[in-house]
């Protein structure tokens, strides 16, 4: 289920809107134009105005062409976004070449396209643009026009100073491409995982509602349908007595009308009281564990506590979270899964333990993070690399849903050989229905 919900998000990145790139380029065009005009006409420094404005105009025309060809809301594929950012780097490099190379203080802007790529594109495109930026900086270190300056005051920067600027740009490119891309990638993963969580919760809520509807329908319709069946049999036996047949047919018609009334009422999922909305936690655990008892793994459940067992409200998030942990225990168990329920006046706890090899030590401290899985990929199943290895979202979603219900969750291996255990604890006043 998780694979179907989130497969489209794995290995993909959020596409940039064309409008974002266009606005950034308009900002660059305005800034570059103002900078060139101030240097030429305010400070009266000499620089190749024609060549500079040719490069600036090329960026402006590119924006115009893109806006004519595509709507502003167009989501740019990664390869085209990388190409546009590469153009911006080259165009900026051309301006720096005409205005002093690395000695120009605006050479630091070579980091701008890398920053955009690191926060929006995949790591490989960021690496490619980083290499391009380093190549441009290296070329500018050796080849460039003189820095626009007062002709009466000659200026010459030491080569060591220029080398230091080059090193600073390379370090900045490396830091942004590695650190910023990593942080942005984790943020995208978390956003995708939370979206999958919302989808799962909505689906589980709908399924729970349908289950309640089906149970209520079976219960409500059982009586009139039994009456219809009985009246039909009596009508067949009373064919020689027209009066009795008429009464039986009237009864059938009455009960059929009652069925229609019941169905009309059940069309609204929120109509009436749900007789299954409240149950004990042990009953909920038994219900959740039942579908997993047919895989050759023995599931034992033990319960103990002080006072009466807490009654809880049926909750889709609770059902999914507990069900996921039980399913994982069954998947990795050798022979047996043990579910221990314990409660006191202040706390309710559930331990789900299997007799398998346990959690991998290197992953134990990271359990609950999105896209974390040790299940191997099996490309023999419909050539789908996401089956049955999984996407590593199940534990994250289960943990998130249970924590929303007030739970605290801990993972541990109970022995040196393994025996994975998931401990789930709630304050009793949080999970229990208050009378």
Q: How far apart are the first and last CA of the chain?
A: 36
* Sign of the torsion angle spanned by Cα atoms 124, 365, 344, 304: positive
pLDDT at 37: 94
One pLDDT digit (tens) per residue for the chain, 435 residues: 444 444 444 444 456 788 888 999 999 999 999 999 999 999 888 889 999 999 999 999 999 999 899 887 788 888 999 999 999 999 999 999 999 999 999 999 999 999 888 888 888 899 999 999 999 999 999 999 988 888 788 788 888 988 999 999 999 998 888 887 777 766 666 666 666 666 666 666 655 555 555 555 655 566 666 667 676 666 666 666 666 667 767 777 777 777 766 666 655 544 445 555 778 888 888 888 888 887 788 888 898 888 888 888 877 778 888 888 888 888 888 888 999 999 988 888 999 999 888 888 877 777 777 666 665 544 433 344 333 344 456 777 788 778 877 888 888 888 888 888 989 998 888 888 766
Contacts of 343 (CB under 8 A, 6+ apart): 281, 305, 306, 307, 309, 310, 349, 428
Nearest to 288 by CA among 333, 334, 341, 332: 341
- Pair 29, 56: CB distance under 8 Å: yes
Q: Is 44 exposed, middle or buried (0-12, 13-18, 19+ CB in 10 A)?
A: exposed
Question: Tokens in use for 281?
Answer: 């936690």
pLDDT at 323: 85
Nearest to 299 by CA among 372, 354, 227, 365: 354
Question: Tokens in use for 127?
Answer: 């690496």
The domains found in the chain, sorted by start residue, are 2-199 (no CATH), 278-431 (3.30.565.10)
pLDDT at 143: 92
Give the whole-angstrom CA distance, residue 4 versus residue 386: 9
| Residue labelled with tokens 């043990």 | 338
- Pair 326, 409: CB distance under 8 Å: no
**Strand 298-305 with 336-343, pairing:** parallel
pLDDT at 92: 95
Looking at the chain, how many residues does it have? Answer: 435
Is residue 336 classed as helix, strand or coil in its secondary structure?
strand
Give the whole-angstrom CA distance, residue 96 versus residue 147: 9
Contacts of 275 (CB under 8 A, 6+ apart): 215, 216, 219
Q: What is the per-residue DSSP string for 164-184? A: HHHHHHHHHHHHIIIIIHHHH
pTM score of the predicted model: 0.53
Give the whole-angstrom CA distance, residue 248 versus residue 232: 7
């Amino acid at each position: 289920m998780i694979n179907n919900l989130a497969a489209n998000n794995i290995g993909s990145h959020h596409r940039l809107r064309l409008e974002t790139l266009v606005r950034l380029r308009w900002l660059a065009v305005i800034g570059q134009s103002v900078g060139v005009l101030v240097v030429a006409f305010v400070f009266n420094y000499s620089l190749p105005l024609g060549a500079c404005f040719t490069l600036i105009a090329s960026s402006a025309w590119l924006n115009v062409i893109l806006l004519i060809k595509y709507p502003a809301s167009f989501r740019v594929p990664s390869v085209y976004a990388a190409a546009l950012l590469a153009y911006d780097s080259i165009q900026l490099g051309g301006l720096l070449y005409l205005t002093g190379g690395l000695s120009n203080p605006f050479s630091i802007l070579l980091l701008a396209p890398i920053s955009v790529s690191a926060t929006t594109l995949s790591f490989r495109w960021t690496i490619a643009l980083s290499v391009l930026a380093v190549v441009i900086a290296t070329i500018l270190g050796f080849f460039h026009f003189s820095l626009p300056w007062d002709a009466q005051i000659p200026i010459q920067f030491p080569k060591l100073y220029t080398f230091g600027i080059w090193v600073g740009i390379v370090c900045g490119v490396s830091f942004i491409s590695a650190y910023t891309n990593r942080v942005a990638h984790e943020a995208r993963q978390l956003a995708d995982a939370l979206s999958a969580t919302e989808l799962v919760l909505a689906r589980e809520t709908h399924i729970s509602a349908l289950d309640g509807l089906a149970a209520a329908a079976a219960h409500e319709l059982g009586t009139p349908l039994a009456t219809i069946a009985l009246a039909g049999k009596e009508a067949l036996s009373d064919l020689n007595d027209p009066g009795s047949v008429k009464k039986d047919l009237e009864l059938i018609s009455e009960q059929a009308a009652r069925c229609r009334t019941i169905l009309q009422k059940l069309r609204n999922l929120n109509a009436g009281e749900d007789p299954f909305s409240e149950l004990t936690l042990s009953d909920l655990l038994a219900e959740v564990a039942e579908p997993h008892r047919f895989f050759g793994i023995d599931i034992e459940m033990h319960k103990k506590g002080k006072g009466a067992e807490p009654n809880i409200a049926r909750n889709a998030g609770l059902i999914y979270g507990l069900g996921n942990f039980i399913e994982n225990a069954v998947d990795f168990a050798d022979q047996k899964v043990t579910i221990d329920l314990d409660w006191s006046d202040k706390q309710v706890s559930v331990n789900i333990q299997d007799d398998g090899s346990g959690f991998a030590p290197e992953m134990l401290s990271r359990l609950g993070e999105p896209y974390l899985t040790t299940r191997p990929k099996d490309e023999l199943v419909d050539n789908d690399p996401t089956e049955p290895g999984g996407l590593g979202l199940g534990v994250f979603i289960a943990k998130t849903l249970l924590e929303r219900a007030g739970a605290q969750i801990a993972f541990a291996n109970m022995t040196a050989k393994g025996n994975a255990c998931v401990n789930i604890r709630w304050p009793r006043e949080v999970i229990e229905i208050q009378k």
